[in-house]
């Protein structure tokens, strides 16, 4: 009896080849062969650290259609060279990749304008149409912006910038509103402008490799099935730390604070992945349904289980460690916005109920406390 053949792992290029075939054979995706990725808020922190680096990596690995263009839009008066300089520390491009990196930025353009001004978006539409085959291109609008401008921006997109032939998509970043009321108001507003299949609500934290691997770690290893319960786990602690301050983003951060900026989106997504049951499939709907079950099982948070704080500078520290939250010039000097929060949540379902299993959320986005 012959032994079973040992499966040979696919190489990196073979994996990317399969991904390319799956992407490019999709009929809806091929509505137009030209694609334009528009980054609204291109001068911001999210664009610099996450969006442009990700687009570069997709371009480098040939996971984007050949005829793809990238357009940045923001209030700042910048050039593509400025964008490249700002993003360079996060692109992780080797010396051997510099020529390809230059080709990537040759596909980029930038336009400055005001988010609430329709004329600025008319100029953006004219710019998109002037790109090669741009008038008929598929257009994807990424809103790397604070929720306070979502309504103006989406209204201007709908009225002035929609593709006449290709598909149109709008990606809305977290935080999706400031509270339940503003979230509902934003949902109602978007539904009057776009169909549901044109709207993507995303949390970029779910793109992190370790977060993506959580489901595989949990449900792909049978050893964890019987022990991932209240009988074997006393406590789960989720910790979010960053070794820098607001770095000029105080205007945004001071309006939202650490709970809205990190806890109610990034860390609750992590909590859901850790605590949920195995979904029926890996489809987005099935995964979402299991996450919702977890969140419905969480006890309302009481003030007795919350600690709030605001970071101050360390006089004997080095570099940024010497600066506290109020030392940022973009932060009001009398601000009481929390930059540290720790909370304990209790998940009351069959897997975790009984011996109270607590989940501690400890986002730490600034510097060590004095």
More confident position, 303 or 26: 303
Has residue 193 got a pLDDT over 50? yes
Phi and psi torsions of 304, nearest 5°: -65, -20
Q: How far apart are the first and last CA of the chain?
A: 70
Residues 6+ apart with CB under 8 A from 117: 156
Has residue 5 got a pLDDT over 90? no
- Nearest-angstrom CA–CA distance, 312 and 321: 9
Segment among 64-73, 97-106, 148-157, 209-218 with least mean pLDDT: 209-218
CB burial class (10 A; 0-12, 13-18, 19+) of residue 226?
exposed
Has residue 263 got a pLDDT over 60? yes
Sheet holding 35-40, edge to edge: 108-112, 68-74, 35-40, 138-143, 168-173, 199-202
Q: Give Cα separations from 240 to 16, 223, 264, 321 (angstroms).
A: 31, 27, 12, 18
Maximum Cα interatomic distance, the chain, rounded to a whole number of Å? 79
Catalytic residue among 159, 189, 266, 370: 266
Q: With beta carbons less than 8 A apart as the criterion, state whether 134 and 166 touch.
A: no
Has residue 367 got a pLDDT over 50? no
Q: Is 199 in a helix, a strand, or coil?
A: strand
Q: Is the peptide bond before 175 cis (omega within 30 degrees of 0)?
A: yes
**Residue 35 annotated among the catalytic residues of the structure:** no
- Nearest-angstrom CA–CA distance, 187 and 193: 10
Q: What integer pLDDT is reported at residue 370 of this predicted model?
A: 30
Has residue 8 got a pLDDT over 70? no
Tell me the pLDDT band of 28, cut-offs 50, 70 and 90.
low
Residues 120-134, mean pLDDT to the nearest whole number:
96
Reported as a single tens digit per residue, the pLDDT across 307-360 is: 898 888 888 877 777 788 888 888 888 888 888 888 888 898 888 885 444 544
Has residue 18 got a pLDDT over 80? no
Q: With beta carbons less than 8 A apart as the criterion, state whether 310 and 325 touch.
A: yes
Tell me the pLDDT band of 294, cut-offs 50, 70 and 90.
very high
Has residue 363 got a pLDDT over 60? no
Q: What integer pLDDT is reported at residue 364 of this predicted model?
A: 47
Q: What integer pLDDT is reported at residue 365 of this predicted model?
A: 43
- Nearest-angstrom CA–CA distance, 47 and 129: 23
CB burial class (10 A; 0-12, 13-18, 19+) of residue 123?
middle
Tell me the pLDDT band of 16, cut-offs 50, 70 and 90.
low
- Nearest-angstrom CA–CA distance, 88 and 83: 8
Q: What integer pLDDT is reported at residue 369 of this predicted model?
A: 33
Has residue 129 got a pLDDT over 90? yes
Residues 196-213, mean pLDDT to the nearest whole number:
84
Reported as a single tens digit per residue, the pLDDT across 167-178 is: 999 999 877 878
Q: Which residues pair with 70 in a beta bridge?
A: 37, 108
More confident position, 28 or 71: 71
More confident position, 147 or 181: 181
Q: Which residues pair with 172 in a beta bridge?
A: 143, 201
Q: What integer pLDDT is reported at residue 167 of this predicted model?
A: 95
- Nearest-angstrom CA–CA distance, 342 and 88: 34
């Amino acid at each position: 009896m012959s032994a079973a053949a040992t499966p040979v792992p696919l190489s990196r290029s073979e994996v990317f080849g399969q991904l390319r075939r799956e992407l490019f054979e999709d009929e809806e995706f091929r509505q137009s062969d030209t694609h334009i990725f528009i980054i609204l808020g291109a001068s911001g922190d999210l664009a610099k650290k996450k969006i442009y680096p990700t687009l570069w990596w997709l371009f480098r690995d040939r996971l984007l259609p050949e005829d793809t263009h990238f357009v940045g839009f923001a209030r700042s008066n910048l050039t593509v060279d400025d964008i490249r300089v700002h993003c360079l520390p996060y692109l992780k491009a080797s010396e051997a990749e510099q020529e390809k990196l230059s080709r990537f930025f040759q596909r980029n353009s930038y336009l400055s304008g005001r988010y609430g001004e329709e004329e600025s978006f008319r100029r953006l539409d004219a710019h998109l149409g002037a790109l090669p085959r741009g008038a008929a291109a598929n257009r994807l609008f990424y809103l790397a912006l604070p929720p306070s401008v979502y309504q103006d921006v989406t209204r201007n997109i709908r009225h002035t910038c929609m593709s006449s032939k290709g598909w149109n998509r709008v990606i809305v970043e977290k935080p999706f509103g400031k509270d339940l009321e503003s979230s509902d108001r934003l949902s109602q507003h978007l539904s009057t402008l776009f169909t549901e299949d044109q709207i993507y609500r995303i949390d970029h934290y779910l793109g992190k490799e370790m977060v993506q691997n959580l489901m595989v770690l949990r449900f792909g290893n049978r050893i964890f099935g019987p022990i991932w319960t209240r009988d074997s786990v006393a406590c789960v602690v989720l910790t979010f730390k960053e070794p820098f301050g607001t770095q000029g983003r105080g205007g945004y951060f001071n309006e939202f604070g650490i709970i809205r900026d990190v806890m109610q989106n990034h860390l609750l997504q992590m909590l859901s992945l850790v605590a949920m049951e195995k979904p029926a499939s890996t489809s987005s709907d099935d995964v979402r349904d299991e996450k919702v079950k977890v969140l419905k099982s969480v006890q309302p948070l009481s003030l007795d289980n919350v600690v709030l704080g605001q970071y101050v500078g360390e006089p004997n520290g080095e570099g940024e460690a010497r600066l506290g939250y109020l030392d940022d010039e973009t932060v009001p000097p009398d601000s009481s916005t929390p930059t540290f929060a720790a909370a304990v949540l209790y998940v009351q379902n069959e897997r975790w109920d009984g011996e109270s299993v607590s989940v501690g959320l400890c986002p730490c986005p600034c510097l060590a406390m004095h």
